[in-house]
A and B are shown apart, each in its own frame.
Chain A
Amino acid sequence: MSALSPKKPAPESVAAAPSSPSSPSPPATRRARRSVDPVVLTLLPIIILAVIVGAVVSPAFLTTTNIIDNIITTSAVLGVLVIAESLILIGGYFDLSLEATVGFAPMLLAVLVSGVADSGFGLPFWAGLLIMIPAVLLIGLANGLMIAKLRLNAFIVTLAMLILLQGLTIGLSGGQTYAMLPDAMTYLGDGVILGLPVQAWIFVLAFAGAYVFMKLTPTGRSIYAMGGNLEAARAAGIKTTRLTIGVIVAGSLLAALAGLMLTGRIASVTANQGNGLIFTVFAAAVIGGISLNGGRGNLIGAALGVILLGVIQNILTLSNVPSFWINAAYGAIILAALLVGWVSTQRFSGRRTPA
């Protein structure tokens, strides 16, 4: 019944009543100029700390090549996925099947455009895109309709979709890796514009675009409103069913883009591309301050979350942590980052402390 009611209603005040008519309340003035996001305030020092650690651990860390080619470029795929998941999370839902789209979309394209000799259909690249994009739209639409119209649970819908898409990817490819790809398909991986890799450009521009979209457009704000309080958004005339479907479809398209970027980078598509990526996506989004309950968080924070994970992964690779232990270390650090984030949001935002 009250699942949608806000977690922390301001105290319904017998006590606040006398103070309200004349004097401004003290907490108001204290935080009158709270322009900097507490999540950013928390993450920046942690990232700086990580960079210092990195510089100490390895002399190769603080080099332009490492930062641009390794950290930024390898974070770009994760970054685009985090944008996709963040839009959906802010809207009050989530989508597990994004990681399967990361594998499915490029595999479909690879099968369509590879030469007949390489067990493909030998279609021109544009024709492949003309089939792949509607297929991805269909995935998002199916998820969106089931979640928004049929009101099925997002967890189980997108889990089923994830299994279905992974199965399709294996079925399409017959389990084999497609490595003879046309140049157009690998451009996202090896292209360079103005001296910077295409992936770095996408990383920066996608986050900037998504931030502006969510911060400044009526649609973006409607997504925040919907995730913050679905009933209130609907009562304000926002078409929430349509918006939910739109957000989930947009997520699928972004996931397909991330898939093409990943394929471009490694110049091949494997049948298990993207598997297991979704957990890192959620970790980065949550570390970046995106609320799993919807309606809170912003894309700058999410970008910092991605960068932090990228830096940590890079340090682990450069340092002499035995490769078998890297995942364990990575998981422990993600947990630590979450705890530090929790402690600092307690400190920075007064509203979480009990009155």
Chain B
Amino acid sequence: MPQAPSEQAGAEQAIVMDQVSKAFGPTKALSAVSLTVNRGESRALIGKNGAGKSTLMSILTGLTQPDSGSVRVLADGDATGTAGVGCVYQRSTLVPAATAAENIALARFPRSRAGFIRWSEVQRQATELLAEWEYAHLADTPVEQLEPLERKVVEICRVLSQGPRVLLLDEPTAGLDRGASQRLFHHIEKARARGVTIIYVSHHLHEVFEVCDSVTVLRDGWTVLTERLSRMTVPDLVDAMVGEAAAGAGDGPHAARAEPTLPPVLVASGVTAPKVSDVDLALRPGECVGLTGLDGAGHMQLAEVLTGQRPAESGAVTLDGRPLPLGDISGCIQAGIGFTPEDRHISGYVPGLSVAENATLNIMPRFVNRFRLINGRKRDEFYSRLAGEWHIKAYGATQPTEELSGGNQQKVVLARSVAADPKVLVLVNPTAGVDVSAKKSIYDTIEELRADGRAVLIVSSDDADLEICDRIVVMVHGEVSTELRHPFTEGMIAAAVQGDGTAEPDRRPSGEEDSQ
């Protein structure tokens, strides 16, 4: 295995991971991973979804124990266990109504002898930490009034207040616009100059070049590369993430499919919404199109506009030539759009209702008899047809959806998207959190629906989901940047979502409005 060339003799080591392995059941998450980061170094940790980044992070922070191998965080030559790693998570862990100073002191308030909080001390410590980031004036401001970048800094200061040797940053620019990201990089650079060691986890490869001086690439639980970034380029990293074999194999089952010739059924023109600017998109009947991008690239928001979940600021979408009522979910369903929501737990299914009810939730009035009461048999018959189509495994139409496995719950949600016999299907993360056999079965059904003449839009970052598409529309910073046609490779997708790199940082004005 390639081993760290950044270990120069004489440099002080901050963290040493030696031959760490971890398995969850039959799945090997990490296989003999070794990682050495020097004091004051900024190391990028990259890899595709499922490469083992999350497991590595949770082992570093001590949340997960490795099956074998050792992790040492070194403080001035002494081993101190794993408590020396502080992690700034992608999602906010701040208390919105509390001030920046209170948030920083949270859970370890300095106390007086009588047990009361010493507010002057809280204030002093927070101001001191924030001052290092040039944000001392924020100490008394409630976090909910802060800008996204300022919140991120408060979050970082809270972690630093606990005195970690190593700072682990997980996608720190999520929710930040370009300008704010640049300022964050500037601050991180200064922190590094003060001796803070950083492990930087991100999917945004261009960022990695701005912030880090070395990189470790994980693939399928192995470290495939550790190298100084000055010797690397974005395409090099993409190759390392994707691997030789996958980069070459491009002919999926649909590679030889004929180009659809029918006129487009769904046409979006000039769609603009938060995070989406001036997007054009056309779907033809019998076509399966992928829509992808990095987190925050706007593809999820575009999907929400197309399905009526979010109004558009400008632009229009037509289905069969008729304008879609954007922002009106039931109007869009009636017009012929079927969709799955982004997260099946949050907005996918109603746990206590039966599988049949969940699968037909959008078309209940179809099953009423002349007394306007639902004919349960009629509904359950309709459901069994859907269940057959999607291969849903439940003991019957009446089983509560919450009792099913994740894969079958997902199939129930997918089944609902086609219950109203839509012309256009927008499937967001269709195989999120499902096992391999369920995934295969979902792909088969999507293929049947496509062959049936429906237009399918798969919105996902999962390579396997995109593999079944005829073409892939790639979004970068709210705009369509490229379109990939079969035969494409994982490497091409991974490179395309990064954008074209050189022109990119200046493409958007720095004060760009940000919704999160």
Contacts and interface: CB of A to CB of B under 8 A. Distances in A.
A130 interface: no
Contact of A238 (B339, B352, B361, B416): B361
Contacts, number: 136
B368 to A, nearest CB: 6
Given A5-B345, A14-B25, A32-B396, A234 B329 contact: yes
A12 B361 CA distance: 24
B374 interface: yes
B403 A20 contact: no
B27 A14 contact: yes
Interface string A304-330: 000000000000000000000000000
Given A10-B404, A21-B437, A221 B329 contact: no
B435 interface: yes
Given A28-B394, A216-B373, A12 B433 contact: yes
A225 B374 CA distance: 15
A166 B261 CA distance: 70
Nearest to A28: B395
**A interface: dominant SS:** loop
Contact of A20 (B329, B334, B373, B405): B405
B404 A228 contact: no
Interface residues of B, number: 51
Interface string A1-30: 110111111111111110011001001110
Given A10-B403, A225-B350, A229-B351, A237 B365 contact: no
A276 B25 CA distance: 56
Interface string B274-317: 00000000000000000000000000000000000100000000
B350 A228 contact: yes
A232 interface: yes
A235 B435 contact: no
A264 interface: no
B393 interface: yes
Interface string B326-340: 000110011000010
Nearest to B350: A228
B353 A12 contact: no
Interface string B348-365: 111111000100011011
Contacts of B416: 236
B507 interface: no
A228 B352 contact: yes
Interface of B: 24-27, 91, 309, 329-330, 333-334, 339, 341, 345-353, 357, 361-362, 364-365, 368, 372-374, 376, 393-396, 399-400, 402-409, 416, 433, 435-438
Given A13-B406, A13-B435, 8 more contacts: A17-B437, A218-B368, A221-B353, A224-B353, A228-B353, A229-B349, A229-B350, A296-B352
